[in-house]
A and B are shown apart, each in its own frame.
Chain A
């Protein structure tokens, strides 16, 4: 553990409506600790529509704007413009969307905001399916995973969309991955993002106990294993060019089976399937290493 103190300020109440062990709830708590109370949160349709609490309650001590599924980035751009014109350049505008609202439905508005380099922080908490509506596959669902629309006999045959590559291709000043298993890394990245002008994108893996079919007390464990097995490497990309790996390149990765075997959504996999997933992960890892090498 590096020298690290979790900011003591709590901007999220304990009375939120997240499921037990919700990775997305913990992610919000860390994000707000990093950003502080001069923050406005924009939430499209996603699990957080519910977690934030129904009218007249709210689980956040910062302003929240709920908006439609595809509009997180563009609504955040509007909030930013209004703050700027009123002379408030200090407040951070945080778009906080799930994988469905980012990888699929909100991609064009996110791409538009990124292309215009809107001064917003966009965090995608990725639980790898439409969890709020009952675990339907999204573009973020991993290869061969079970969801209600990709049942065991016909699991998802497409690999997870590489959202980081898409965002990096926009040349935005900052993009990074993070998980709740490494709060020091998570908070450092949010604070770094806050200090940069322009569009910042954070891709946060957010384990979902009901959707992943895993016990709620394993959220941190699964987040850590996702990094240790290189299913979800931690890295940053500056200005679409400079790749920074947040772990030793040489460290021996754990086999992906260590991660998969803890989750019911992968329980139907054969050894051959696991091998195919391992291969896919190795391929993406080698690509990432190549990018790191080429940019250093």
Chain B
């Protein structure tokens, strides 16, 4: 008797031990709007801390795909930059796969948690809608980098550990499904993390889901749907094209969705390409060692600008390293879309209206709506101070739109790399660019390798060819 009651109390002594401070048991996490929203917010924070939009140059998608394609060149001795610049991505450079899938786990378990909770959540639709949007966004990047994908739609590791690859087409269908769910669930106005309406365009609303949906329909060649979704956003008066110097300011009318910075003082692009570097540097100062600016715009991108393109004057800056006895003067050109070293002045724009005009132009051109395509294209060209397009056939237009995307959306969120692949022109472009970079290009390089460890651990997973 005494012994068993002693044992009972000991059992209690152990059971009553608290969890480490600052942790909530998984089951207790979805009991209120506050904590549910916090979990969803965690995904935005982690998108910022690591992965496609991070401040770490070695994994920022815009930065490394810029190097990988024809946008940027490595002007330093940085070896990580060389890996991408020289198209030498190997099995060792597989951080994005792992990173994006870890974010996917979080979003899947969040969706499950919100669906299962018995608590009454006032803004349940909003939180769930945001989750579907984030899942679509993660798959959008995964698909663009790796092609066919294991389609993980739950948090169950016993299932996900054995997945085989689903063809990219079906992945697109899943993205479309998620975005439609997001459209249905999200509010039309922007919400903050507490459910209140706000001017900050940093959490998705219905238009954000619509904008991404429009882009994704292009991957499935559903041109009419792509056009319809783009039109829905273009016709929304919340979104307007504005003068070039205002585009990247926080909550500009052109912003559809941007990521806020966390505790950093500025948008990462500022550090990547500007970092307070003056227009003239005297050796031994150089951009790489004195300002940790490791890359500059590459000549194919610089050459793509037509004369008098206002985007060149607004969004490109240069720094000249003066001549020495042993070396001539060198001028470097840098993307200058984000100019501020102060927190909050700018936010990292992921989706903006100009992209949708060009998307619609392409969708219309594909449907042989030449004048519609021309008109959308010219809206963008006009803002850049350029005359209307001379392209008049479908092919000419598609080429013109592609070129316009190159100079309008340069170094933004991997658009150039993804566009080249989507249009099937990547091999042609890279076969010209690669020799300029001192390397060579093979077709298989348009997809990146997936971690060899995963291929060992998941017998159903196959590597990308070539790696």
Q: Are A and B bound to each other?
A: no
Give A contacts to B, CB under 8 Å: none
